[in-house]
Structure 1
Amino acid sequence: MPKCLVNERSVKVERTKVITEGAMMLAIFAILLAVSVYVPIISIVGALFLLLPFLIYSAKYPAGPAFGLLACSVALSFIIGGVISVPLAIMYGTTGLMMGALIRRQSDGWIVYMGGSLVFLLNLIVQYAAAMWLFDISFADEFSKAFKESAAETSRVLGQEVPYTGEEINTLIEYMNAILPAILTALAFLTVLLLRTVNYPIAKRLGVKIKPLQPFRTVRLPRTILWYYLLLMAGAIFVQPEPGTSWYDIYVNVLFILQACLYIQGLSFVFFFAHSKKWPKAIPVLAALLSIPLIPLLYLIRLLGIIDLGFDLRQRMQKKR
C-alpha cells in the first residue's frame, strides 16, 4: 500500500478519534451540568467535576479541538440551564483548558496550578463586573444590609445590645469592601486547589500524565515579598491610609495578599521543620487547621514566614546537621 494512503488513513483515524472523544466529553459535561443545576443535594458534587472533561480533552489534544469543545459546551449549557448556566461553562471550561494545555506541555505542577488559578480569577472578576453592570447590583450595599440585619437578629435572640457600635460596623464594612479584590484572589486559588485535588486522580486513571506538585515543605517564595511587605508598612507610616481613598484600597489589598504569602511561607516552614524532626504528618496539618480560628497561632506562623524569608532558617538548620 502506498505510503501516502497509509498517512491519509491514519489522519482520518486520528480525526475520528478527536471527534468521538470530544462528543464523549461533551456528553459528560452535559450530565454534570444538569446535576449541578437541577439536583439540589448533590449539585455541589456535580459542580466540582465540571472542569474534568475540559482538562482531560485539552491535555490530550491541541488548542483547536479544545476550543471547539468549549464553544459546544457553552451552547449546550444555554440549552440545559439557560443564561445562568453559561458563566459556569465559561468559567470551568477556560480553567480546564488552561490547566490541560499546560499539562500537555508537561509543565511543572505549580505552573499548572498558578495558570488555572489566574484564569479562574479572571472569570470571577469579569463575571462580578458584568453582574454589577447588567443587574445594577451593588454587592457592597447587599453585604452591608445583610451584615446589619444579622447583627440585629443576633442581638434580638440573645437579648443583648449589638456588641459593636454603628461606627465600628461601618468601618468593618468599608474594610471588607476595600479588600474585595484580595478576597476574590484568595477564593480563586483555594477553589482551584480543591478542583485539582478532586479531579487529578480521575484524570490520571484515564491516562493523563500529570507532574505532581513538589511537597509543600519545599515551597520557597521569593525574598522580594518580604521587602514589599516592609516597604508597604513603612509607606503606611508616612502616608496614613484613609478609608475611602484609592491609597487605602491599594494598601489593604496588597497588604492582605502579602500577609497571605508570608503565612504560606511560614506554614511551609512548619511542614519542613516537622519533616526534619520526623514528626507525624498530623502535627503540621493540625497546626494549619487550628491557625484559622486561633488568630495568635496564625500570627505566629506568619512571623515564622517573615523570619524564614529574612534569615533563611532552613539553610541554617541544614548546615547544623
Structure 2
Amino acid sequence: MPNNQTKRLAHGAMMIALFTIFIAIAFYVPIISLVATLFAPLPIAWYSAKYDRSSSILVALIGCITSFFIGGLLIIPFALIYSAIGVVIGDALRLKRSKVYLLMSTGVTTLITFAIEYVISLKLFEVDIIKEFMTIMRESYQKSIELSQSLNAQSPLDEQTVNRMFDTLEMMIPATVTIAVFSITFIIISLNLPMLKRFGINIPKFRAFENMRLPKAVLWYYLIVLSINLFISPEIGSTLYVICLNFSLVLWMLLVLQGLSLIYFILSAYGSPKFLKVLAAFMAIPLYSFFVLIGILDLGFDIRSIVKGKIQK
C-alpha cells in the first residue's frame, strides 16, 4: 500500500511538471506553441486514466496553480480548459467508455469551462472577449475596405451590407463556438489517444467514418427549424430568429458530415480510388447544400442497404 501511494504521488508530481511545461511552451514559445497546445492535456489524461477521479482533479488543480506561478492570471483560463480536457479524457478511458461518449463529454466540458470563464471575465474584470474579438474583426475588415478603395477607387460592399454581415456573425457566435470547440476537441482526442496507447492505456476505437449514422432525431430537428423559418419567419434579431439561426448552423454541419459519410460509403463499396474521398471532402465546403440534401436522404431512407443490394447482384 505505501509503495502504491508513493508511486501515485511520484506519478502525479511528474504529470504536474509535464503539464506546466506544456502550458508554458504553448504560452511563451511561438514556433512550437501549436504542438504544445494540442498535447497539453496529455499528462493529466495519462494520470486520470490510471487513478481515481478525486486524485486526478487534485493533480489538475495543482497543475493550474503551478502554471499561475509561471504566467500569472493570463495563463489560468488556458490551463483550466486543458486540465479539464485531460481529466475528462482520462476518466472516460479509465471507465472504458466509447469514443462517442469521450468526444461528447470532452466537448461539453470544454464548452462549460469556457462559458464559466467568459462569465467571470465579464462580471469580475468587465472584459467581453467576444465583443473585443468582433471589434477587431470589424476594424480589420474596415482597413481592407479602405485599402481596396485606394487601389480600385470603389468599395466591394456598402456600409449597410457590412453591418448586416457582422450583426449576423454576432448572432451566430453560440453555434460557431460550439462547432469550433467540438472540432478542436476531436483533433486533440485523435492526437492524444495514440500517445496514451503507447503508455499502456486501453483505447476504444471509432467506427469508420463511412459507417457513421447520426440519430434520426437530427432530421426531425432540422425539419422543425426549417418549418419555423418557412411558416413563422421570425423577425431578424429576435430571440426565436437567433435560436433558429444557431440551430440551423449546427444541423447543417451535422447533415454535411452525414452526407459526406454516405459518399465515402458508396466510394468504398465500389472500390474507388482514395483520392476521390479527398476530393469529396474538399467539395463538401462549396457544395454544402448538396451534401445537406444527401445527409437528409441518408437519414430518411435506407440508401446504404440499396447500395449493398446492387453490389451483391
Q: Same fold (TM over 0.5)?
A: yes
Residues 174, 243 of structure 1: 8 Å contact kept: no
Of stretches 253-262 and 132-141 in structure 1, the one that deviates more from structure 2 is 132-141
Q: Can you list the C-alpha shifts for 1:136-194, whole angstroms capped at 9, x where unaligned?
A: 33634652533542442342353242221222112111111111000010111110111
2-structure distance, mates of 1:27, 1:187: 29
> Which residue does the alignment assign to 2:197?
204
Equivalent residue letter for 2:176: I
Helix, strand or coil for the counterpart of 1:214?
Answer: coil
Q: Does 1:316 align with 2:306?
A: yes
Equivalent residue letter for 1:135: E
Q: Does 1:38 align with 2:28?
A: yes
Q: Can you list the C-alpha shifts for 1:63-111, whole angstroms capped at 9, x where unaligned?
A: 1210110111111011011001111111011111111111111111121
Identify which of 292, 305, 312 aligns with 2:295: 305
1-structure distance, mates of 2:121, 2:149: 34
- Displacement of 1:285: 2.4
> Which residue does the alignment assign to 1:282?
275
Identify which of 100, 114, 117 aligns with 1:127: 117
Change (3 A) 1:202 1:138: closer
2-structure distance, mates of 1:101, 1:310: 36
Q: Does 1:153 align with 2:143?
A: no
Equivalent residue letter for 1:167: Q
Equivalent residue letter for 2:258: Q
Identify which of 154, 158, 174 aligns with 1:165: 158
Equivalent residue letter for 1:107: R
2-structure distance, mates of 1:15, 1:199: 26
> Which residue does the alignment assign to 1:5?
none
Change (3 A) 1:157 1:207: farther
Of stretches 27-36 and 50-59 in structure 1, the one that deviates more from structure 2 is 27-36
> Which residue does the alignment assign to 1:107?
97
CA RMSD of superposed structures (Å): 1.7
Identify which of 124, 129, 139 aligns with 2:130: 139
Q: Does 1:14 align with 2:4?
A: yes
Residues 41, 82 of structure 2: 8 Å contact kept: yes
Helix, strand or coil for the counterpart of 1:17?
Answer: helix
> Which residue does the alignment assign to 2:220?
227
Residues 54, 97 of structure 1: 8 Å contact kept: yes
Q: Which runs of 5+ in 1 are unaligned?
A: 1-10
> Which residue does the alignment assign to 1:259?
252
- Displacement of 1:60: 0.8
- Displacement of 1:127: 2.4
2-structure distance, mates of 1:151, 1:314: 48
Helix, strand or coil for the counterpart of 1:267?
Answer: helix
> Which residue does the alignment assign to 2:16?
26
Of stretches 128-137 and 252-261 in structure 1, the one that deviates more from structure 2 is 128-137
Residues 232, 255 of structure 1: 8 Å contact kept: yes
TM-score by length of 1: 0.91
Identify which of 51, 68, 71 aligns with 1:61: 51
Residues 145, 156 of structure 2: 8 Å contact kept: no
Residues 17, 63 of structure 2: 8 Å contact kept: no
> Which residue does the alignment assign to 1:193?
186
Equivalent residue letter for 2:250: I
Change (3 A) 1:110 1:157: farther
2-structure distance, mates of 1:83, 1:240: 45
